[in-house]
């Protein structure tokens, strides 16, 4: 089975984000880069599928040179090879990112594509869905459970809809699946895995060979830091006293309740 995992490298969630003076870009100095947390579930599910029925896992990433580090992490976990679409110095939107990833995936003739349900930097969650649409494949996102039936073409997933409702969805391959937390527990790369990863192939493609004359659909202009919350008032006293004071504040001052 030929399996793809769409993977993005993002700033670690602890990172303090600093912006350039003109607010047009992020100051990358001091940022710790990691594999998008949701993509870890995607890599792990691909590995479990390969462990079960065999095949090849290709990590497909649209990103700058530093993204190779996170790709190596996926390779160290057990993926077989990678394809990096070098986008530098362009800042692509979801539309173009989906397009170039779909182009690569189409050429590779994958049977199934796993992706994290969204990247924690831009929080869009659209690229993997856009890929599915462009490939003419169904997609299901976000999934908490995945099963490939014994016929090796029927897929059964549990989609987390709103309010604790779970949808059991079935489809034939090929399909794109957006992975949610809870799908699995991602494995740690072993030392032998890390060593092997160093010599696994990562092919590089330039984004502009895929973009052609297409253009962005959304113009990202400026950014600003969101207002920080500051600490308010500590309410002292015994439990009874504090509770009474809080209720009074919420009712009288805040008119919240």
Q: Residue 88 in 3-state DSSP?
A: coil
DSSP state of 113: E
Pattern 32-71, other proteins, x by CB under 8 A: -----xx---------------------------------
Give the H or E element holding residue 202: strand 202-206
- By CB under 8 A, tell whether 122 contacts other proteins: yes
The binder of other proteins chosen from 129, 207, 210, 211 (CB under 8 A)? 129
Q: Judged by CB under 8 A, which stretch of 44-52, 84-92, 122-130, 200-208 contacts other proteins?
A: 122-130
9 contacts 36 by C-beta, under 8 angstroms: yes
The binder of other proteins chosen from 168, 191, 192, 199 (CB under 8 A)? 168
Give the relative orientation of helices 127-135 and 94-108 as an angle to the nearest 10 degrees: 50
6 contacts 41 by C-beta, under 8 angstroms: no
Q: Tally the residues of the chain.
A: 257
- By CB under 8 A, tell whether 205 contacts other proteins: no
- If one counts every other C-beta atom within 10 angstroms of the C-beta of residue 12, the result is 11
- By CB under 8 A, tell whether 240 contacts other proteins: yes
Q: Judged by CB under 8 A, which stretch of 51-59, 77-85, 107-115, 155-163 contacts other proteins?
A: 155-163
The binder of other proteins chosen from 50, 95, 108, 111 (CB under 8 A)? 95
Q: Judged by CB under 8 A, which stretch of 82-90, 104-112, 169-177, 195-203 contacts other proteins?
A: 169-177
List the 56-62 sheet strands across, edge first. Answer: 154-160, 139-148, 175-179, 112-116, 2-6, 56-62, 81-86, 202-206
CB of 126 to other proteins, least distance (A): 4
- By CB under 8 A, tell whether 191 contacts other proteins: no
């Amino acid at each position: 089975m030929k399996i793809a995992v769409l993977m993005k490298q993002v700033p670690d969630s602890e990172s303090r984000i600093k912006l350039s003076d003109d607010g047009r870009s992020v100051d990358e100095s001091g940022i710790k880069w990691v594999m998008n947390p949701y993509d870890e579930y995607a890599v792990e599910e691909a590995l479990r599928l390969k462990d079960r029925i065999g095949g090849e896992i290709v990590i497909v990433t649209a990103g700058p040179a530093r993204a190779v580090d996170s790709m190596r992490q996926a390779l160290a976990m057990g993926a077989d090879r990678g394809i990096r679409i070098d986008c530098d110095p362009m800042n692509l939107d979801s539309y173009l990112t989906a397009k170039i990833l779909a182009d690569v995936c189409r050429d590779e003739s994958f049977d199934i594509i796993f992706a994290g349900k969204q990247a924690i930097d831009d929080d869009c969650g659209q690229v993997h869905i856009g890929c599915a649409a462009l490939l003419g494949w169904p997609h299901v996102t976000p999934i908490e459970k995945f099963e490939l039936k014994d016929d090796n073409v029927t897929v059964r997933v549990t989609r987390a809809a709103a309010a604790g409702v779970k949808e059991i969805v079935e489809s034939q391959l090929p399909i794109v699946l957006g992975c949610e937390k809870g799908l699995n527990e991602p494995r740690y790369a072993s030392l032998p895995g890390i060593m092997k990863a160093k010599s696994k192939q990562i092919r590089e493609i330039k984004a502009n060979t895929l973009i052609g004359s297409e253009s962005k659909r959304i113009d990202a202009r400026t950014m600003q830091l969101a207002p920080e919350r500051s600490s308010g008032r500590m309410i002292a006293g015994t439990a009874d006293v504090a509770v009474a004071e809080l209720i009074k504040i919420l009712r009288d001052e805040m008119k919240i309740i």
